[in-house]
Amino acid sequence: MKSRQSPQQFDPPTQPLSLHLHWEWEMQQEHLAIAHRAYGLFEARGCEHGHDWKDWLRAESELHLNE
């Protein structure tokens, strides 16, 4: 089985950002983390299709519980 790499993590920008751009950057990072976890749930189920929303919501819930 081919090993997967973690989703690419980006360092925060070094220049000051407007509040809107900073919020957008944080949302992108959160989206990547949720997508990565949801895909892990998909793989753990043996790549069975049809549970994408369930996986996404579970991943989102887990992420927010760990904050």
**Position with higher pLDDT, 26 vs 67:** 26
Residue 1: which pLDDT band, with cuts at 50, 70 and 90?
A: very low
Task: For residue 21, name the pLDDT band (cuts at 50, 70, 90).
Answer: confident
pTM of the model: 0.68
Amino acid type, 32: L
DSSP 45: T
Nearest to 66 by CA among 37, 23, 25: 37
- Mean pLDDT for the chain? 83
Counting DSSP H helices and E strands in the chain, the numbers are 2, 0
Helices (DSSP H) in 7-51: which residue ranges? Answer: 19-44
More confident residue, 62 or 9: 62
8 pLDDT above the threshold of 70: no
